[in-house]
Amino acid sequence: MVERIVAKCPGSHAQIVLGEKAELMNPKIANLAKPGVAARGDVVVIADSDIRVGRDYLRGAVTGLYSGNPRDNLVSRLGALGINDGLAPSVLAALGHTFADDHKLVELSRYVVTTTIPETNLRALLSHELRWARNDLELAGVGHFFSFLSYGLPPALIYLAVSRNLTVGVPLLAVIIVLRVAQHYLARRALNVTRSDDVWLIPLRDFLSLAVWATSLFGRRRSFR
């Protein structure tokens, strides 16, 4: 497909280049930083293969937030919910000698792109999210360790079930539910998400997020597709 696009634009300087810069530990950036290839223009645009954009994307974009665009599949929808409610509001991007090139940012664009969620089984989704979590652990350290505090719903449900203290547990759970649902809809509004609303998946999504966080603390292995 890329070859056909290049053939249709004979006056351009388009190139298809294979190979990678082996000394960089980030596979994606190693793929971009090929030896002997330099950008010729004043604007450099880097986009992942799972990103969709509109015709006005290049109007000053430096790096941008993204919303999840799921397949018609429960696992994929859980992945999109995790991005929309958790990752996207705090995502930052950069290049360099780091596994998480999406972690640092020079300037944030108001343009929001969408990312497809290709995972259709839970194992693939958790592997992907574990990579993100371990990137965050490496870069944020203490901040990542205490990020479990942002998942208030699972502990509140567990506390209510174990303690059976209705006087404290029920009001606490009610407050957390209100705040969590508010976060969900504020994120949808900020990211201009118009797809079907999966608010009913929030409890499962938050339990999965807490499990990913806990797993990220043990081991450093990360899988790239």
Instruction: Give this prediction's pTM.
Output: 0.67
At residue 101's C-alpha, the angle toward residues 99 and 107, to 5°, is 155
Distance CA 139, CA 147 (A): 13
- In tens, the pLDDT along 54-93 reads 887 777 556 667 888 888 889 999 999 988 888 665 653 3
Distance CA 116, CA 79 (A): 10
Distance CA 5, CA 71 (A): 27
Averaged pLDDT score across all residues of the chain: 83
- In tens, the pLDDT along 189-221 reads 888 888 889 999 999 999 999 999 999 999 988
Distance CA 39, CA 87 (A): 30
* 3-state DSSP assignment of residue 84: helix
The two three-digit tokens of residue 137, written as one number: 């652990």
Outline where 164-224 has alpha helix (H): 166-190, 202-216
Per-residue model confidence (pLDDT) at position 178 = 96
At residue 202's C-alpha, the angle toward residues 197 and 205, to 5°, is 115
Distance CA 115, CA 52 (A): 6
For β-strands 109-117 and 64-70, DSSP reports them as parallel
Task: Indicate the DSSP class of residue 195.
Answer: S
- In tens, the pLDDT along 29-45 reads 787 777 767 777 777 77
